Amino acid sequence: MVTILLTIAAMVVSAGIGAAMAHHRLAQAEPAPAAPNWSARSGPVFLFRGDDLIDATADAQLLIAPFAHLPDRAAMLQVLAPHFPDLADHLNAPIPMRRRILHHCDDEVWIDLDWPGSQMRLTVSGTLPRSDRPEHKELSLLRDVIRFTPQLIWRTDSNDVVTWANRAYLDFWDRLHPGGDAALAEKTLFPALCHQTTSLRRIAVPLPQPGTDQWFDVVTVPQSADILHYASDANAAVRADLDRRNFVQSLSKTFAELSIGLAIFDKRRQLATFNPALLDMTRLEIDFLSARPTIDTVLDRIRETRILPEPKNYASWRDQFTAVETAAKNGTYSEVWNLPDGQAFRVTGRPHPDGAFALLFEDITADLSLTRRFRSDIETSQAVLDALPDAVAVFSKAGTLVMYNRPYRLLWGMQPDGGVEHRALGSELADWQSRCLDTGTWADLEQFIHQPGPRKPWTDDALLADGRLVRCHAGPIAGGMTLVRFALAPVSAPSLRKLTQIDPAIRAVRR
C-alpha cells in the first residue's frame, strides 16, 4: 500500500514539474496572453503552436493517449472529430477567430476555440457522450441528415426572426452575401410566411447576377411558438412550366394561322381547344365554344347552322353522333359534308393521348370545283375526239398511249378496259401489224415517235388485211407527245393520182 501511494505521489510531482517547465518555456518565448473567460465547466484543454502540442491538461492527455503513435494534432482530431465533424474546417479557417462549436448530438457539450497570440487553445466543455449508445447513433444520423441535406431548413419565431438554420441555408446565404458575417437573426432570405397553417408557396430569391432568380418551393409547418420552413429547389419545375407555356403559346399561334378548323375534345367529351378557323367555318359563337360544350352539343349546334348534312332518318341522329365520336377516337373517321349552299367540308377524326380526340374541318369547296371542272373538260375533250371520223391516238414522249377515241378502238379492235396507262407503243405496233400487210410503215412511225428534238409531220399509207387503205398521219404536239391519226381512204374510181402513186399492195408483195 505504501508503495502504491509513493508511486502516485511521484507521478503527481513529475506531472507538476513537467507543467511548470512547459509554462516556463512559454513565458520565455512570448508574454502570456490574457486568460479568456472560460466556462467553469471546462474540461480537457489543448494548447498548440502550429501542429505542435505545447501544453495540455491531464484529462486532455488521457484523451489522446490511445493514439500516441499519431502526431499530436492528428491524435486530437481522431478523438474529437466524431463528436464535432466541423472541427477540422474551423481549425483550418483562413481568419482565426474565437468561436464555439456545438456537439453534433448533445447541446450540453461544446468546444471553445481561441487564438491567443500565435497559439491555438482548444477547450472541451461538458462530458463527451459515448457514441456507441443507440440513442446517440440515431441522433447522430438525424443530425447528419439535416447537415448534408440540399434542402434549406430553418426555424423562425413569431416575429419572423431566424433562430436556427441548417448548413444548406447558411451556405446559400453566404452565396448571396459573400464575405458577410451577419448574425443568424439577420440571415433572412424569404419574406414573412403564413404562420397559421401548413402552406406551400413558390418564391423567387434574386441572385447577385442581374436578372436571375433562384426559385424555391417553401413548405411552412407551424410548431407551437416557432415555425419550421423547408425550401426545395424549384428551378427545374419553373423552367418546365415556362417551356410548356411557351410551347402552348407557339401552338396557339400556329392553330390561329391554320385555315383548317380544329376542335379538340378531352376524355370527358368536352371541347378543350379550338381555333379561329372553326368559328369562321361553323359560324358558332365564341361564347358558346368557350363554355367547353360536349361533342353532342357542338354537333347539334352545327346542325342548326346547316353545316352538318341533314340525315334522312332523324331518329338515328344521336346514333350518328356516337358513330362520329367512336370513329374519331379510332382515327378512322373521314367524310365529306356537302352543304346545301354548295360548300363542301372534309371532316377528319384523329385520336389523341389519354382518350382525347380531334375533329379537323377542311374547306374543299374550291378543290371539288376544280376537280369537277377538270372532269368536265376531260369528258368534253373525249366527246370531241369520239365525234371525229378519224381514229386518233396520243402517245407520250416515252411511247405510252395517253388517250384515244372511239373510232381508234373500233378500227384496231380494242377492248374498252380503261387500262390506257398500261398500253405501250410496242403492243400497239404489234396490233397494227397483225391487222395490216407487212410494210415498213410501222417501223418509220415508231422511229418518228421516239425521235428527239424538233420534228416535221410524217405521213404514210398502210393496207389493212381486208384490202382497205389507211392513211397514217403523225405530228408533234406539246410536251414532246405525238398525235397519230388514221384515216380510211374513201372508195373511188381510179384517177391519174392513183395511177402515178406506188400501190401499198404492190409494195407489200415486193417485200
For residues 510 and 445, the answer to whether their CB atoms sit within 8 Å is no
Contacts of 250 (CB under 8 A, 6+ apart): none
DSSP label at residue 400: B
Mean pLDDT computed over every residue of the chain: 79
For residues 222 and 195, the answer to whether their CB atoms sit within 8 Å is yes
Whether 157 and 140 map to the same domain: the answer is no
Question: Quick check: is 27 in a domain?
Answer: no
| pLDDT, position 21 | 33
- For residue 434, CA distances in Å to 71, 375, 420, 472 come to 117, 35, 20, 16
130 compared with 458, residue with greater pLDDT: 458
Domain range spanning residue 426?
A: 385-510
Whether 177 and 285 map to the same domain: the answer is no
What are φ and ψ of residue 87, in 5° steps? -60, -45
153 compared with 40, residue with greater pLDDT: 153
Q: Residue 265 pairs with which residues in a beta bridge? A: 271, 357
Whether 132 and 171 map to the same domain: the answer is no
Confidence of residue 185 (pLDDT cuts 50, 70, 90): low
3-class secondary structure, 470: strand
Cα–Cα distance measured from residue 411 to residue 462, given in angstroms and rounded to the nearest whole number: 13
Cα–Cα distance measured from residue 93 to residue 506, given in angstroms and rounded to the nearest whole number: 124
Residue 501: how many other CB atoms lie within 10 Å: 10
Whether 158 and 140 map to the same domain: the answer is no
Among all chains, which residue has been given the C-alpha cell 396520243? Answer: 394
Cα–Cα distance measured from residue 31 to residue 36, given in angstroms and rounded to the nearest whole number: 15
- For residue 345, CA distances in Å to 116, 249, 307 come to 93, 28, 9
Whether residue 507 is predicted with pLDDT greater than 80 in this model: the reply is: no
Average pLDDT of span 454-483? 90
Q: Where are the extended beta strands (E) located within 119-212?
A: 120-125, 152-156, 162-165, 199-206
Cα–Cα distance measured from residue 300 to residue 256, given in angstroms and rounded to the nearest whole number: 24
Residue 216: how many other CB atoms lie within 10 Å: 24
Rg (alpha carbons) of the chain, rounded to whole number: 52
Q: Which amino acid is at 32?
A: A
Q: What is the CATH number of the domain that holds 119?
A: 3.30.450
Whether residue 469 is predicted with pLDDT greater than 60 in this model: the reply is: yes
Whether residue 383 is predicted with pLDDT greater than 70 in this model: the reply is: yes
Question: Quick check: is 177 in a domain?
Answer: yes
Choose one of 296, 328, 363: the last residue of a domain: 363
In tens, the pLDDT along 57-70 reads: 999 998 898 888 88
From the number of C-beta atoms within 10 Å of its C-beta (0-12, 13-18, 19+), residue 467 rates as: exposed
Question: Quick check: is 5 in a domain?
Answer: no
Q: Which among 185, 183, 220 is positioned nearest to 201, based on CA atoms?
A: 220
Grid cell digits, residue 164 = 436556427
In tens, the pLDDT along 243-288 reads: 888 887 787 788 788 888 888 888 888 998 888 888 888 888 889 9
| pLDDT, position 29 | 31
| pLDDT, position 422 | 64
From the number of C-beta atoms within 10 Å of its C-beta (0-12, 13-18, 19+), residue 472 rates as: buried
Choose one of 103, 118, 145: the last residue of a domain: 145
Question: Quick check: is 374 in a domain?
Answer: no
pTM, to two decimals: 0.44
Report the length, in residues, of the chain: 511
495-499-504 Cα angle (round to 5): 115
Whether 47 and 100 map to the same domain: the answer is yes
Weakest mean pLDDT among 131-145, 204-218, 460-474:
131-145
Q: How many domains does the chain have?
A: 4
Task: Output the 3-class SS for 11-67.
Answer: HHHHHHHHHHHHHHHHHHHCCCCCCCCCCCCEEEEEEEECCEEEEECHHHHHHHHHH
Q: What is the CATH number of the domain that holds 340?
A: 3.30.450.20
Choose one of 115, 145, 175: the last residue of a domain: 145
Question: Quick check: is 375 in a domain?
Answer: no
Q: Which among 123, 121, 122 is positioned nearest to 26, based on CA atoms?
A: 121
What is the DSSP annotation of 413-432? Answer: T------GGG-BHHHHHHHH
Whether 410 and 468 map to the same domain: the answer is yes
Average pLDDT of span 114-142? 77
Whether 195 and 309 map to the same domain: the answer is no
In tens, the pLDDT along 285-338 reads: 889 998 999 888 888 888 888 777 766 665 565 666 667 777 777 777 788 888
Cα–Cα distance measured from residue 118 to residue 30, given in angstroms and rounded to the nearest whole number: 9
Confidence of residue 140 (pLDDT cuts 50, 70, 90): low
Whether 284 and 308 map to the same domain: the answer is yes
For residues 131 and 137, the answer to whether their CB atoms sit within 8 Å is yes
Weakest mean pLDDT among 40-44, 73-77, 115-119:
40-44
pLDDT > 90: percent of the chain: 17
Question: Quick check: is 310 in a domain?
Answer: yes
Q: Tell me the helices (H) and strands (E) count for the chain, helix number first.
A: 17, 20
Whether 200 and 301 map to the same domain: the answer is no
Among all chains, which residue has been given the C-alpha cell 438554420? Answer: 165
Q: In this structure, are strands 334-338 and 401-404 parallel, antiparallel, or unpaired?
A: unpaired
Whether 66 and 140 map to the same domain: the answer is yes
Question: Quick check: is 376 in a domain?
Answer: no
Question: Quick check: is 3 in a domain?
Answer: no
Whether 208 and 173 map to the same domain: the answer is yes
145 compared with 228, residue with greater pLDDT: 228
Q: In this structure, are strands 99-102 and 357-363 parallel, antiparallel, or unpaired?
A: unpaired
What is the DSSP annotation of 313-346? Answer: -GGGHHHHHHHHHHHHHHT--EEEEE-TTS-EEE
Q: Residue 245 pairs with which residues in a beta bridge? A: none
What are φ and ψ of residue 254, in 5° steps? -65, -45
Confidence of residue 189 (pLDDT cuts 50, 70, 90): confident
Whether 84 and 156 map to the same domain: the answer is no
